[in-house]
Structure 1
């Protein structure tokens, strides 16, 4: 009986040594598989930063680099990232050529559709040559919860200084920006915005379009210009004069 026990212990010790030797001979197999998976899933290896153009701000030496992103195609693999609409960017780098300092506009998720120094979005809006502001139209909220940012979501008005700092939203959340203008004499933004009146997560032709204002030199939120009482009186007046008469 004792001989059998000794034999079993010797056999177990031999098998254990063999396994240890195999692991020492091939120490990288398991780690190599893990490393390969990590390389495939690492965004630094699959994404390609694209800076297609840049703009200097008023001969200041400050450059704006709108950012897009390319994705390396992998054989047999579908794309991992959503396509962005044409003529948009997902962020902007500001670079000071005098100090070599640079920074992002902001680190929040956003779809930037336009930016510039115009006093409004009308075709004849003047250029703010001496203004310290850059205005942006941006989408940040997935209103219809489809996990995308596109023209089905509200467009907002944002502003920063010409260094790309003090970035903030001007138009009210949940309202789609329709029109806006910078009134230089009062340093105020006047904007018309669309309200999702029927709460169907869409901005329809019949939805209310109302007017907000905000002072650029104050830390406040946009305020609706016309009171609810005034708007209700407008509805009563329209109902009186334009309601269809029953035949």
Structure 2
């Protein structure tokens, strides 16, 4: 009986020690994270009003202080990219983030990619974004090697969603007012080398805003095959 009691006591001591060790490690980890977070500086260098709606957008960058050894606590973001946007309704002082997912915003456009001098502000129901959101080559980074997608939201920064085809990289896009379509050219990783370069095929897609929003290829296989035959006929491959 005494042996059982002794074993029970030792077991309790061991469990208690393990719990204390876990608490100490947890507290140490928390302090390290808090110290690292304190080295971050939220940077709202500029903001823009969406037409005359009173809706303001604040693109977010993040600065950080160097460690004593010259290194940084966080991975460096690509230059000229934003990791999120704050939307502020200046009429009500309500605000929210565009998304809580990990993304890189390369550009945003609420003028529908219109040429200078063309005013379609009366149609500003959407904001468009060039975004990197997928680690396509599985290198645990989101950078210039990963595809660019076209995203859209309403002018309040709600219903943020992709509208370009998955696993294609966006090249150009334009809003066509008369048909309420977005026409875009995208690069397909044709040779499956996890790169988007001049060795790959460039295709044209379209979507109709606020409908199914499923991107569809504009030029069908029949036409593409014809183009290849004509090119091969008129511009023979060098042997």
Q: TM-score range by the shorter chain?
A: 0.7 to 0.9
DSSP 3-state at the match of 1:205: coil
Tell me the equivalent position of 1:134.
127
Out of 226, 230, 234, the position equivalent to 1:233 is 226
Structure 1: 5+ residue runs without aligned partners? Answer: 1-29
| Matches for 1:37-186 after TM superposition, within 5 Å | 37-42=29-34, 44-76=37-69, 78-120=71-113, 124=116, 126-130=118-122, 131-186=124-179
Tell me the equivalent position of 1:11.
none
Cα distance in structure 2, aligned partners of 1:245 and 1:192:
29
Please say if 1:211 is aligned against 2:204: yes
DSSP 3-state at the match of 2:121: coil
Q: CA deviation at 1:72?
A: 3.4
CA contact 1:119–1:125 (8 Å) conserved in 2: no
User: Residue by residue, what CA displacement relative to the aligned partner does 1:207-244 show, whole Å, maximum 9, x if unpaired?
Assistant: 11110000002033101011122212221222223224
Q: CA deviation at 1:137?
A: 0.7
What is the TM-score normalised by the length of structure 1?
0.79
Q: What is the aligned-residue RMSD (CA, Å)? A: 2.4
Larger Rg: 1
Cα distance in structure 1, aligned partners of 2:199 and 2:23:
61
Out of 194, 212, 222, the position equivalent to 2:215 is 222
* Closer/same/farther in 2, CA of residues 165 and 125 from structure 1, 3 Å limit: farther
* Closer/same/farther in 2, CA of residues 38 and 103 from structure 1, 3 Å limit: same
Number of residue equivalences:
216
Cα distance in structure 2, aligned partners of 1:193 and 1:237:
23
Q: CA deviation at 1:48?
A: 2.3
Q: CA deviation at 1:245?
A: 7.0
* Closer/same/farther in 2, CA of residues 35 and 217 from structure 1, 3 Å limit: closer
Q: CA deviation at 1:139?
A: 0.8
